[in-house]
Amino acid sequence: MPEPEALYSNAEFIRLKGNTNDSKQPAASDRRSGVTTERVALLALSVLLAAALITLGLGFYQHTQTKKSLQELQVKHDAKNLSATLQTPKGVEPGQCPPVNNEQCPRCKDAWEQHGGRSYFFYSAALTWNESRKRCTELGGDLVVINSEEEQRFLLSRLKDIMDHPEDKFWIGLTDSEKEAEWRWVDNTPQDPSLTFWLKDEPDNWNRENPDGEDCVRMGETTFYEDLKTWVDKSCKSPHKSICEKPV
């Protein structure tokens, strides 16, 4: 039979051994908890990194699309400018035609054309004779002075292309407003009797439209004309288009 002291020692040893096992269990639990926290933190970091990459990718895509859109707009703008340049007659600057009644000229055909050492401007705004002459002088010229049959023929060939109807006439620089029946050009030279292109029975100084009579000359024909004769006297206050002229 064991001694009491031996029994006590065994019991104490068993108790201490039990305490030792109990102390090891919380340490293992703590290690598992630490590993789980690290995994959660790593997972969160991975999610944040993925979100950052997605945001960066979307930003780069939007930047690329914006750049592409700007390039397309630039191409369209350049094409539009090129088209406008190609449609502008040679030697003519866009916007050369001055505004009328605060409006730009209605047709792009309003442009200087060179012929025979002179430049001609077929002005499409309907104005009185005096207003038309003022516009021509603002452009550096004056209403046209016709000095030859060849010049008359050229002007008629151009008018036939741009007249819209039979009464769509153009003022020229011939008038007898200073003295009746004494026709003079705007450069103050008298009209040469051997070089006239009056329509039949013209000038007639018809005064039913205006009591002052008809002291200014217009020209133009869309159907037929005989020997280039298309000059007609008309009231200077009537609105018509005009032909400007200046040296090249």
What are the pLDDT digits (tens) for 155-164? 999 998 899 8
**What is the distance between the alpha carbons of residues 239 and 26, in angstroms, rounded to a whole number?**
110
Cα 222–136–87 angle (5° rounding)? 65
What are the pLDDT digits (tens) for 46-56? 888 888 788 88
**What is the distance between the alpha carbons of residues 234 and 199, in angstroms, rounded to a whole number?**
12
**What is the distance between the alpha carbons of residues 19 and 12, in angstroms, rounded to a whole number?**
11
Closest to 58 (Cα-Cα) out of 46, 47, 50: 50
* Domain 112-247: top CATH class: alpha beta
pTM of the predicted model, to two decimals?
A: 0.58
